Amino acid sequence: MEKLAIACDHGGYDLKESIKTRFVDSVEFLDLGTNSTDSVDYPEYGITLAKAIINGDASRGILICGTGVGISIAANRYPQIRAANCTNVTMARLTRAHNDANVLAMGARIIGEQVAFDIIETFLSTKYEGGRHDQRLEQLTKGNI
Ligand code: RB5
Atom 9 (ligand 1): residue with closest C-alpha? 70
Instruction: State the average pLDDT over residues 125-145.
Output: 89
The reported pLDDT for the residue numbered 143 is 63
- From the CA of 104, how far away is ligand 1's center (Å)? 16
34: pLDDT strictly greater than 90: yes
Q: Find out whether the peptide bond into 67 is cis, omega within 30 degrees of 0.
A: no
DSSP structural state of residue 108: T
69 lines ligand 1 (CB under 6 A): yes
- Helix ranges restricted to H, 55-144: 69-75, 89-97, 113-125, 133-142
Q: What is the C-alpha to C-alpha distance for residues 22 and 16, in angstroms, rounded to an integer? A: 10
67 lines ligand 1 (CB under 6 A): yes
pTM above 0.75, yes or no: yes
65 is catalytic: yes
131 in the Ramachandran plot: left (φ > 0), alpha (ψ -120 to 50) or beta? left
- From the CA of 129, how far away is ligand 1's center (Å)? 32
9 lines ligand 1 (CB under 6 A): yes
pLDDT band for position 61 (50/70/90)?
Answer: very high
The domains of the chain are located at 2-142
Please, what's the b/e burial string for 20-45 (b: 16 or more CB within 10 A of its CB; e: otherwise)? eebbeeebebeebbbeeeeebebbbb
133 is catalytic: no
Architecture of the domain defined by 2-142: 3-Layer(aba) Sandwich (3.40)
CB 32 within 8 A of CB 58: no
71 CA closest ligand 1 atom index: 10
144: pLDDT strictly greater than 80: no
